[in-house]
Chains A and B, each alone.
Chain A
Amino acid sequence: MSYRALFDATIPAEPPPRDTVDALIGRARRRLALQRLGATAGGVAVVVAATAGGFAVASGPAPSWAPVTVAPMTPAPTTSAAPAPRPSTLRGVDSKESTAHAVARLRSAFPRAIRDAVPGVHLGGMPTVVRRNVPATPTGTGGTYPARFFYDMPAPLTVEVAGRQGKIGFSLHRLIEDSFCEPPNEDPGGPPRATATHESSCVETKGPGGQRVVMATLVGPEPGRVVIDMRVDQPDGSMVNVSLDSPTGAVLTVEQLLAIALNPRVSFYP
């Protein structure tokens, strides 16, 4: 008997894969597109322009909170803005909470926040929450972002409202700088992305308590899909990131997503 056959003999009956290959590829593609939208620190000043945002992709009542700045994420001329110096210290304070406690707390907090914001919602199980460590990284402007950690869901949670399904995920971070809409260029000073295959937009606004709210919306690249990536900077120095991947016409409204992100249970600190 070969060694490989010996190993095969130890593998019990395989359950069906949780995701299809197409679903995994779609997720990888959207993640990459969202990274390009500026979920990470970049270093270019926010473009302030009075252009309509991407709220039209979400159904439900129009948002009651007016955007204060809008950064259009369509191909744009080459920018010459120099990277602005950004702070290299963590906001907030060290959390005394154990990882096991935080994981258990957030595993129950997130579903409750969804149910609070969306009556009648059906959830596809309990979320998995993990702590991810980030090593110290250079800021690109001579400073260093210190080592830090954040809480994350490795796989999104299925939400179903009135027969429509979407995937929702969240992560909680300590801020190293304010969230902002990154300009559409992949590299500061680089050429514009003239061959975008999807429509996207990003809006910076304020929450009801004055929190900084940044919402990036990506339509496509698959037909009929929309991804909303919302970041809320909390006064305690933390940031809540909620993302929803759903069919166009949205399973949740923008207000519901914001309510989930603002739920006090969904907090970096206990």
Chain B
Amino acid sequence: MSRMTASDEAAFRDYVSARMPGWRRTAYLMCRDWHLADDLVGTVLGKLYRRWRRRSEINDVDAYVNGMLARAVIDETRRPWRREHLVDEFPADGTVVAADTGSVDRLTLDSYLARLGPRRRAVLVLRFYCDLSVEETADVLGISLGTVKSQTARGLETLRALSLTPNQIRQVP
């Protein structure tokens, strides 16, 4: 472990200060719990601090942090007392096929995310909130490109439908 110099630490503080609000929001989207989001951001920040002097070895630090956050959320939700009871497949009656069919009335993005498993939710957040590519998402989560694509497909369909009906986004189902 190498020791942080004052300039390293100042750079670290600047980097973290600028991104902390975004990390909290990203963590919240993935775990839907502000308390846990704060825990996870603190954990990830500690890991990043240890690696900060060797950050030049990391291709994209922002993507690296988002990946650590996603993995931390998935690890946390694997713990038995936190385990969510989720369905693997989204029920057919909740599927949004088009904005003008009226089916979107029963669904908001919030309720859709709530029904996803933590890994699929992380995939969507990384792809469409953090703007990571399919390759980057697969890399940071340690899953295949095909898995990212398949887990993204239904989410993308839902997002497209919701993006056409802005007045209904905040509607509680």
Binding site for B on A (CB under 8 A): 1-4, 6-11, 14-15, 17-19, 21-22, 24-25, 27-29, 31-32, 35-36, 99-100, 103, 128, 130-131, 154-155, 186, 193, 195, 197
The 0/1 profile, CB within 8 Å of A marked 1, for residues 37-60 of chain B is 011011101100110000000000
Is A21 in contact with B17, judged by CB distance below 8 angstroms?
yes
Knowing A24-B16, A27-B46, A154-B43 touch, does A19 contact B38 (C-beta < 8 A)? yes
Taking A14-B25, A25-B13, A130-B79 as contacts, is the C-beta distance between A6 and B162 under 8 angstroms? yes
Contact partner of B1 (CB less than 8 A), chosen from A27, A36, A99, is A36
Closest beta carbon of chain B to A23's beta carbon, Å: 9
Smallest beta-carbon distance A172→chain B, Å: 16
CA distance A8 to B81 in the complex (A): 28
Shortest CB–CB separation between residue A35 and chain B, in angstroms? 7
CB distance from A103 to the nearest CB of B (A): 6
Nearest to A98 among chain B residues (CB) is B80
A15–B24 alpha-carbon span in the complex (Å): 10
Distance in Å: Cβ of A257 to nearest Cβ of chain B: 23
Q: What residues of chain B lie closer than 8 Å to A195, measured between beta carbons?
A: 3
Residues of B within 8 A of A155 (CB): 38-39, 42
Q: Enumerate 5 A-B pairs (CB-CB under 8 Å) in ascending A order.
A: A11-B28, A21-B13, A24-B41, A32-B49, A155-B42
Stretch in B90-98, B106-114, B136-144 touching the partner? B106-114
Centre residue among A2, A19, A154, A195 by max chain B CB count within 10 A? A154
